[in-house]
Amino acid sequence: MHVVLTGATGFLGRALVLRLLGDGHAITALVRDAGRARAALGAAPAIVPLADDAEVRRAVAGADAVVNLGGEGIMDRRWSAARKRALVASRVDLTRRLVDAIAARGRRLPVLVSASAVGWYGDRGDDVVDEAAPAGDDFAARLCRDWEAAAEAARPHVDRLVRARIGVWSSAPAARALASLAPPFRVGVGGPLGGGRQWVPWIHLDDAIEALRDAAVEPRLDGAVNLVAPTPVRNRDLAAALGRVLHRPAVMPAPAPLLRLVLGERAGLVLGGQHVVPAALTRAGFRFARPALDDALREALTGDAATCLAPVDPAVRDASPYLRARSPAYTLTARTVIARPLDEVFEFFADAENLAAITPAELGFQITSPTPIAMAPGATIDYRIQVSGVPLRWRTIIEAWEPARRFVDVQARGPYRCWWHEHRFRRDGDRTIMEDTVHYAPPLGPLGRIANRLFVADQLRAIFAQRDRAIRLRFAAPDAGDADRRAAAT
């Protein structure tokens, strides 16, 4: 099917694009910045600028499904009057444009999936709320109410309309918030926010993506749908679980007055909460892959990749003139099992433009070399990245290129003293086993070794974990969970 998507370059949108491409669907992304979108999404999706109204209508006219995830980050900045107008425009006004394009099709659209958020309910204390509960009355709740009302205007022109009220962890601001919580916990000064009694309606990215995918392609969901795990927790329980996962204490709360001072009106989103349950998903027979908080936190922070990091074996320096010259200090290895044939997998990795699609968004990966790039020994790829917000230039040279078997890229210019990365592929029946070996050395000698112990090694593990997650989404294959969900719907 042909899916038209807004918000494709966001945290949730990027993952959904990978998942839908893995299913073989055609994707058209409606974007504000076409160049940035192409750099972020890789070669596969079609890109249409939102500023071109005629092209937007043409894309919607040919769609089998429209998924509307557009919206600026609600926690990114203080809520000034101008910021509130921008939040409304990026959600409500964009949705109205999509509805106008759907109405202009002249035939009914099979399905519109339009994002909303659990902020719809406002601060509900200990009340248990499902999709039938009314909207709250703070700014976030009114924003969600108007957002959903704009989507509902499409009801006469669609067969199904899903309003996805998305829980935390599954959007870029929430993911950044989770990541920002981790450093205090790592040094033993983490704890609950405010009093810690407020409920947190969380959901793991994997389950959010699978629910959105089902909403787009399966006929059993319609109306409001809470995208939350079936096990909501209080904020103090979230803090305790985060401490367990990171093996650190979790007893130092962030006082509510301090949060209000720092966040302003936005503090209501973290000091209030909702005990939200996924009633619609449960009725539809949806099977959650990660309903347990500790498991979900562990994967969100460290991933499932079989990743190891150790001091380098001195013998590896004889494997390459580059390694002899650059003296690596550490070796990282990772193994990913991909449920697709080797030829299909290698073809994806052979296109350098696809690298951005599996690179964590926070690295800001963007190829600056002219594309397409002919991959071969000696090929040079220039790109930009960001490390902790600092922009850097990186030049990679392909040292070895053996189609359907392996390739090696080395850093010629960049932040590391040494970076040698071998990608090795093995056929395993209808599956592919991909093994990564990275020999690296940070800069600055003894200071680099200290940095590696404090944060570089953890950052690399996290990057490869996110890469593993992206690859699993891009090459998703039907599993027992998919079969069970479909059986429950029949």
pLDDT at site 178: 47
Give the confidence band of 407 by pLDDT, cuts at 50, 70, 90: very high
- Per-residue pLDDT, averaged over 223-252, amounts to 86
Q: In this structure, what CATH number is given to the domain that contains residue 314?
A: 3.30.530.20
How far are the Cα atoms of 54, 89, 195, 242, 398 from residue 182, in angstroms, in the given order? 45, 32, 19, 8, 36
> Is residue 487 included in any domain, yes or no?
no
> Which residue, 286, 302, 318, sits at the end of a domain?
302
Contacts with 386 (C-beta within 8 Å, 6 or more apart), sequence order: 362, 363, 364, 392
The reply to whether 315 and 457 lie within a common domain is yes
Asked whether residue 191 is assigned to any structural domain, the reply reads yes
Determine, yes or no, domain membership for 484: no
Last residue of a domain, which of 302, 318, 346?
302
Percent of the chain at pLDDT exceeding 70: 91
Instruction: Let me know whether 238 and 346 are in one domain.
Output: no
How many domains are there within the chain? 2
Domain of residue 176, CATH code: 3.40.50.720
Give yes or no: residues 97 and 227 share one domain. Answer: yes
Same domain, 65 and 214: yes
Q: Do 252 and 343 fall into the same domain?
A: no
Per-residue tokens: 332: 């990282």
470: three-class secondary structure by DSSP? helix
User: What pLDDT, on the 0 to 100 scale, is given for residue 190?
Assistant: 67
Query: Domain containing 414: what range?
Result: 306-474
Within a domain: 480: no
* Residue 172 predicted with pLDDT over 50: no
Q: Which residues contact 343 (CB under 8 A, 6 or more apart)?
A: 404
Same domain, 184 and 246: yes
pLDDT digit string (tens) for 174-230?
Answer: 444 444 455 555 555 567 888 889 999 999 988 999 999 999 988 889 999 999 999
Whether 154 is covered by a domain: the verdict is yes
Percent of the chain's residues with pLDDT above 90: 59
Same domain, 296 and 320: no
Q: What is the mean pLDDT of the chain?
A: 87
Q: In terms of domains, do 152 and 66 share one?
A: yes
Mean pLDDT, residues 127-153: 95
Residue 488 lies in a domain: no
pLDDT band at 478 (very low <50, low <70, confident <90, very high): very low
Statement to judge: residues 230 and 174 lie in one domain: yes
Q: Are residues 29 and 48 in the same domain?
A: yes
| Angle between helix 457-474 and helix 11-22 axes, rounded to 10 deg | 40
In this structure, is residue 489 part of a structural domain? Answer: no
- Higher-confidence residue of 32 and 463: namely 32
Query: In this predicted structure, which of 283-292, 337-346, 457-466, 473-482 has the lowest mean pLDDT?
Result: 473-482
In a domain, 442, yes or no: yes
Find out whether 474 and 18 touch, Cβ atoms under 8 Å: yes
| 17, 31 Cβ separation under 8 angstroms | no
Predicted confidence band of residue 39 (pLDDT cuts 50, 70, 90):
confident
Alpha-carbon torsion, ordered 335, 340, 345, 347, to 10 deg: 170
* Shared-domain flag, residues 215 and 329: no
Q: Is 175 in the same domain as 31?
A: yes
